[in-house]
Structure 1
Amino acid sequence: MTEDAVDENLYPNRGESDSTSGVSRRRLLAGSAAAGATATAGCTGAITGSDGGGDEAAPPTVFVFNTGDNTVSVIDAENDELLTTTYLGATASFPSNQFLPNLLDSADDAMWLNVNNGVRAVNAGSLSEMTSLDTGSGANWQEVTPDGSHLVVSAREPTHKQYRLDADPGSDSFGDVTAEIDRKPEGGRGDNDGPGPCDVSIHPDGEYAYVPDIYADTLSVIDIADFEVVNQVSVSPVGGADAVAPWMDTVSWDGETLLVENNEGEAGTESIWDISDPTEPEERVRLTNDDGLGELPLTSEIGPDSEIGYVFTANSESVTVLDIPAGEVIESIDLGGSAFVGTWDPAGEKLYVPVQTSDEVKVIEHASREIVETISVGAKPYGATAGRVRPEDDTAGNLMATMATLGVELSDAGTTYCIGNCACGHQL
């Protein structure tokens, strides 16, 4: 991959302004009561879920974050129907979604998003901000541990840090930084002043986190309890590439495998790692376009059986499907547009894939590996997560979503980091 192409991938919105002006959510809240009767069609109704006014947990729900208009689309994952699209005033390209679908079951729970120059917790019931951390970086990734107690954050340049936060909303120290690692002393390739920690995926035992370092060509293993790097494995480029540039990763549910997406060469590559010894990762296979891998592998999800991998290959407008034990590509699912991420429903039966270039979500059934539904959502959908709780009606939010769809410029819009054709406006 040429240097210009790498820059385009890493800094797709360089030079764009992230300033906003116009109507604010706060002002609209004061004057929206009269318009409420006409703005609530399709709303979700009363909150259900523990501590949310209902007796039972809500049916499975998928949240899709639309980068084009700072809205969130709420999908009924039982019937695969759009419930509502409401204005959030922020957007997230990579929300925490590894363990959250089975942790998010109360209106008081937090969804963790990468917003502005840091990360933010949003209340699942009200979609209001609960807490946030300014990392000083425009590119951030975060994941919650399986027990919901910690949030592990990767903050790329210029910060080059790992953070651990208290992720328990019931804790007195909720949102506080409980530990951090300054990665700058490690240095980075070229004129980068650090290794560029990208993404974070957590082992199902909750003890270790895996971080691909895009400017160091390393995979770092972090002990979450001690919060220190306990191993760092170097990787070498293939096929004449100048660098491997690993940037995203996913741990399998059985804890035996790690998928890593690399911004390597002209089209990108995919690595399959053996992590049966969690602190000693070993790369088994590196797949390229010649092996049937689609172009620009950015993120991945792994099926509940831990044997099938779904790699989102945006430049091929497809999902590349892997047989993980065999270490090979077995098929490609045509999406008809570019998608960068996906999320499982809480049962792990269906994969929800926001297709950014068509304003749709494709629903892939894991059992058949086929698209079984297409759902229209907001503008430029990118990130997604899931749970068993649904937000309350928000007359102002629904009205503002309509205004945003019509092109009205709204203020209080949080930006986010993403790759590709999006309106994030992030600044690194």
Structure 2
Amino acid sequence: MFSALRTRAGGQRPRGGTYRLVVVTCLGMLLVSCTADVRDRQDATRVPGELARADSASRVYVTNQQDNTVSVIDAGTNKVIATVPAGTAPEGVAVTKDGAHLYIANSGSAQVSVLDTRSRKIVAKVPVGKSPTGLALSPDGKSVYVANGGSNTVSVIDTSTNQASATVPVGRSPLNVAFSGDGATVYVANSGAGNLSVIDTRTRRVTRTLSAGRAPVAVAVTRDGKSAYVADEVGTHVLAIATRTGKSAAVTVGQGPFDVAISPDDRLAYSADLGPGHISVIDTGSHRVTATINVGPPGTDPFNLEVTNRAIYVTNQGAGTLTVIDPASRKVLATVTVGASPYGVAVG
């Protein structure tokens, strides 16, 4: 984070007769089945960028920290279609599986705002700890875990009531959270403590801590739960940590890695590197950087990542933009102007 607005390190700021009728019906069903199969096979052969352009129903949400807004982007056209109020200093964001609601961490008001995506209005404000920054929705959609950087806690929000149902003490300056694929475990990046707190979601208690570098500001977990990738902002490394043993391998990326995300197939991890303005592509098998993707010159400040089968989305805090990347070709498909100091990104 090299812009003045970056805040993670300070903790401030996831469509004839009966016989003839039967024959016609069966033929119809067969044709529909065949058509669907052809369509599925066509989709499977499309490159991810084509799928992103084809999926006009999808929305991308970007929090604009300085504007107190969320930009709503059509994933098919990569155009901003709305800008809506999102609470005070919005940072982390998560969207429910049905796309109906956004959960937005308001670092300036110690609240999580709940946005109805249809009406584009805030329908609830949930009090949490001080300076909520990162948050994540559980795989079953029943809970949102929120890292409260100024309170050294994680709040657990029940999505059925939109109320905080638990508060879990963790390490100093927790900034980011990530679930294991089965939802049984949450990993919390404690930037002030240099470790990860590991929370059992059944008991809602910390069961152990894992060493995670000097200033872990983001964490992502492979879907098999075997590895956690941690962005250590002080320096040039992403740590690949074996969750069972706690052993880690340091992967050299660009200066100031600020976020990390994992591809849906667990084969790649991506690091947003503030200093050089690029994304490092890490092979999770070899723990080596296999490519870099440039999103702009120094000062662009690639900040947060969201990775889908169809696209890689990167918020650029210094440039006030969202970069859309084709994960197959690793080429930039679009650069979208959003609000001031874009922070979090979520795809519905």
CA distance in 2 between partners of 1:254 and 1:110 (Å): 27
Answer whether contact 2:237 2:251 (CA < 8 A) is retained.
yes
- CA change 1:138–1:87 in 2 (3 A) is closer
Per-residue deviation, 1:72: 2.4
Percent identical: 25
CA distance in 1, matches of 2:216, 2:278: 20
The residue number in structure 1 matching 2:98 is 104
1:228–1:11 Cα change, 3 Å: closer
Matched, 1:314 2:279: no
Aligned-partner residue type, residue 344 of structure 1: V
Q: Deviations over 1:274-295 (max 9, x none)?
A: 23xxxx253331123xxxx111
1:25-424 equivalences in 2 (<5 Å): 59-88=57-86, 90-96=88-94, 100=95, 103-105=97-99, 109-115=100-106, 116-157=109-150, 159-168=151-160, 174-183=161-170, 195-235=172-212, 244-264=214-234, 267-275=235-243, 280-288=244-252, 293-336=253-296, 337-345=300-308, 348-387=309-348
Give the distance between the partners of 2:211 and 2:284, measured in 1 at CA. 22
Distance 1:310 1:92, change over 3 A: same
Q: Deviations over 1:55-85 (max 9, x none)?
A: xx97111112223423322211123233233
**8 Å contact from structure 1 (residues 119, 142) kept in 2:** no
Contact 2:63/2:92 (8 A) holds in 1: no
- The unaligned stretches of length 5 or more in structure 2 are 14-54
Provide the C-alpha distance between the structure 2 equivalents of 1:12 and 1:136, rounded to a whole number of angstroms: 11
Note the alpha carbon deviations across 1:285-333, whole angstroms, 9 max, x for none.
1123xxxx11111111111221111111112111111111110111211
Greater relative contact order structure (CA < 8 Å, 6+ sep):
1
Instruction: Provide closer, same or farther for how the CA distance between residues 91 and 181 of structure 1 changes in structure 2, counting only shifts above 3 A.
Output: closer
* Cα pair 1:233 1:281 within 8 Å, conserved: no
3-state SS of paired residue (2:181): coil
Separation of aligned partners in 1, 2:159 and 2:78: 30
CA distance in 2, matches of 1:12, 1:165: 20
Structure 1 unaligned runs (5+)? 15-56, 169-173, 184-193, 238-243, 388-428
Q: Is the 8 A contact 1:68 1:379 kept in 2?
A: yes
Give the direction of change, closer, same or farther, for the CA distance of 1:281–1:167 in structure 2 (3 Å limit).
farther
Higher share in strand: 2
C-alpha RMSD over aligned residues: 2.6
Opposite residue 59 of structure 2, the aligned amino acid is T
Contact 1:258 1:273 in 2 (8 A): yes
User: Judging changes above 3 Å, is the alpha-carbon distance between structure 1 residues 94 and 283 closer, same or farther for their aligned structure 2 residues?
Assistant: farther
> Cα distance 1:380–1:349, how it changes in 2: closer, same or farther (>3 A)?
same
TM-score with structure 2 setting the length: 0.77
User: Residues 90 and 344 (structure 1 numbering): CA distance in 2 closer, same or farther, change over 3 Å?
Assistant: farther
Q: TM-score, normalised by structure 1?
A: 0.64
Q: Secondary structure at the match of 2:303?
A: coil
Measure, in 1, the Cα distance between the counterparts of 2:319 and 2:195. 35
